[in-house]
Chain A
């Protein structure tokens, strides 16, 4: 199985994320899959190690789903971690996607949640329109060539 993000779909999703970023006055918005792969993002601030952030967010969010099950819930739709200056809001989307919003104390957590909900539904509709399961790579005309002369990774000298 493979998840493919075309350029057109990427632009449409990022447009939605940008709207959320502007309306919620957030610092960053990431859309990732359940494995923590960043699918799309819009950011106001430069964050180092975004992949680590996304992997940790996905791990912690889906760990809470098990916690929900243990207390008799089907799952938690959102998780909010509040810090002194910076906070994160995570919301699950259909297809086991995760939206992560990073915001600072200038933003209103209630508004972040409201706008994130709206954007989440729009992103879900957009992704549902794309028939991912029938979109094989050869069908969209892509070829991949592996550089067989080199090892993927080498040790620094």
Chain B
């Protein structure tokens, strides 16, 4: 749920990075925090275990002047990927405006990717939401590893729906595809916001328009 504060001239959007354990969600946020213009970011809050596994969530607030006359705030969250933390994932998904699904490209992780995507759909249903209504995209991460599945295969597994969503190949440890993902997701969320509220300029950016199957 986007939030607009006219007194402060602010619009806030919530973007959640979702995906299986160790797929690179936290790494995405770390790379953004490291590389983005420092004037546009707040502190990166990470609630991790001693083994650097996300326990609760990671949080990174960003701001942009992309909507004229307003400060656009984008609040980036990750969810803990481990199965036992599903209650936390439900909590983080509340009021979400857009989802980046980070898939692990390794062949032996396909089942975990599918389980996590099913878990996302199930958790969204619990809050009367769905992937069909929510802006989301797929990031195929870890493309630098040796045993990765071909992109068209992952696309067939995860993107085989009525409406296909954009996909981005990434190597998040090196920052490859990280900003592309962030910028596209931000645009999709704004386009959705404009469209939902019948505001001018509600057409989707070119790169967001994907063919329907």
Contact = CB atoms under 8 A, between A and B. Distances in A.
Interface size range of chain A in the complex: 35 or more
B3 A33 contact: yes
Interface string B183-194: 100110010011
Given A33-B3, A152-B187, A59 B65 contact: no
A71 interface: no
- From DSSP, what is the main secondary structure of chain B's interface residues? mixed
B22 to A, nearest CB: 22
Nearest to B189: A152
B172 to A, nearest CB: 14
A6 B7 CA distance: 6
A6 B198 CA distance: 19
A62 B65 CA distance: 31
B66 A155 contact: no
Nearest to A35: B95
Given A49-B42, A136-B198, A146-B190, A152 B91 contact: no
Contacts of B92: 59
A109 interface: no
Interface size range of chain B in the complex: 35 or more
A111 interface: no
B45 A56 contact: yes
Interface stretch (B55-63, B98-106, B143-151, B161-169): B55-63
Nearest to B5: A5
Interface stretch (A21-29, A83-91, A117-125, A137-145): A137-145
A152 B35 contact: no
Contacts of B193: 2
Nearest to B197: A137
Nearest to B12: A37
A52 B41 CA distance: 11
Interface of B: 1-8, 11-12, 14, 32, 35-38, 40, 42-43, 45, 56-57, 59, 61-62, 64-70, 72-75, 77, 87-88, 91-92, 94-96, 179, 182-183, 186-187, 190, 193-194, 196-201, 205
Given A56-B45, A150-B66, A152-B186, 17 more contacts: A2-B1, A2-B2, A2-B193, A5-B4, A10-B5, A33-B1, A35-B95, A52-B43, A59-B91, A62-B91, A63-B91, A144-B68, A144-B194, A152-B66, A153-B36, A153-B179, A153-B183
Interface of A: 1-7, 10-11, 33-37, 39, 48-49, 51-52, 55-56, 59, 62-63, 66, 136-138, 142-148, 150-156
